[in-house]
Amino acid sequence: MIHQNDTILPFAGFGVGLRRTHYDDFLSADVPVDFVEVISENYMIEGGRQFRILEEVRAKLPVIIHGVSMSIGSADGLDSDYLTKLKQLEQRIDPLWVSDHLCWTRTSAHNSHDLLPMPLTEEALQAICQNIDQAQSVLGRAMLFENPSSYLTFPEDELTEWEFLTEMTRRTGCYLLLDVNNIYVSSKNHGFSSEEYLAGLPLDRVRQIHLAGHDPATPERDIIIDTHDREVCEDVWALYGKAVAMLPQPVATMIERDDHIPVLSELLGELDRARGIASEAKEPALI
């Protein structure tokens, strides 16, 4: 179900996640970012200090609300209480856009509070598209969905992840949040080519890029884990440059850190590097 008014225009800029440890930085001065992204669930609340701070930051900067609990891939359907509260947040904040992940987190009985992998099958695709239609209909706007990092694939898979995402955007009109680190992590865990992944996506649907760090594989554990607890690694920076060069439109790029959160200046340093790489990637090649 694609709505006429669901177009999300490109937004060119560089931002960070708004985290509690940086509240004072954002309240006391103008931080050199073009937007902030917040975890939706942290602000799907009724009042108090945390929400007041978000409102103050919103008065200065565009805000993106990024969820981790919509469970868009749940075969049991979406949680109506969750959707109601997300809609309330969306109305209170008027975000640039609303995003979540290509994943599932819960059944009707329990919640894993983790981004669990979808089997890449036609059945799963139909379920997820039905859920996306419902979410976009409730919100009255198109959403972005992020490619996940994953630690297993399913024997029953029928599609590659990029084929799945392509078909998902085609059927629902949703957009993509490209997590470059997640592409890298999953490519190493499952043995596919990051470049092939990028080339297979509908890149005109990408509106945002996430950059984050991960825990590399070890001799004891050959799985790379997406931890968001350290700086972006060199391979991911290189892949970011390739992705930006391939995109037909400007996008919003952000540094995502959720654990071992450093002082803000450190994240802003990484953001400067992203600016530099994006600028170089978009320069015409010198002959």
Partner 1 sequence: MTNEVTPLAQRQATFLRAILDESAPLPEGWSNRQTAGLAVYRGNYRSAVMGALAETYERTARYAGEQAFRQACINHVIKHPPAGWTLDDAGEGFDQTCAHHFAENPEVAELAWLEWAMLAVATAPNGTPMDPAAFGAATAEFGDEDWGELRLAMQPRASSRVVSYNLTLLWKTLGEQARERCDPRLTEPQTCLVWREGERPTFILVEADHADAFTAMQKGATYGELIELLLGDNPDPSPETIQNAAMRSGAMLGRWLQEGMITGLNP
Binding site for partner 1 (CB under 8 A): 41, 44-52, 69, 71, 74-76, 79, 81-82, 104, 106-107, 109-114, 116-117, 119, 121, 123-124, 127, 150-156, 189, 221-223, 225
DSSP letter string, 114-181? EEEPPP-SHHHHHHHHHHHHHHHHHHTS--EEEPPP-S---TT--S-HHHHHHHHHHHH--EEEEEHH
216 alpha-carbon distance from chain centroid: 21
Count of other CB atoms within 10 angstroms of residue 94: 10
In the bound complex, what is the minimum distance in angstroms from residue 128's beta carbon to partner 1?
Answer: 10
Distance separating alpha carbons of residues 200 and 196, to the nearest angstrom: 6
Distance separating alpha carbons of residues 284 and 174, to the nearest angstrom: 30
Report the residue number, 102 or 277, with the smaller CB distance to partner 1: 102
In the bound complex, what is the minimum distance in angstroms from residue 199's beta carbon to partner 1?
Answer: 26
In the bound complex, what is the minimum distance in angstroms from residue 127's beta carbon to partner 1?
Answer: 6
In the bound complex, what is the minimum distance in angstroms from residue 72's beta carbon to partner 1?
Answer: 12
In the bound complex, what is the minimum distance in angstroms from residue 81's beta carbon to partner 1?
Answer: 7
Report the residue number, 76 or 272, with the smaller CB distance to partner 1: 76
Q: Is the four-CA dihedral 200, 98, 103, 228 of positive or negative sign?
A: positive
Report the residue number, 86 or 278, with the smaller CB distance to partner 1: 86
Report the residue number, 121 or 166, with the smaller CB distance to partner 1: 121
Report the residue number, 79 or 231, with the smaller CB distance to partner 1: 79
In the bound complex, what is the minimum distance in angstroms from residue 287's beta carbon to partner 1?
Answer: 46
Report the residue number, 150 or 208, with the smaller CB distance to partner 1: 150
Query: First CA to last CA across the chain, in angstroms?
Result: 46
Geometric angle at alpha carbon 148, from 250 and 40, rounded to 5° = 75
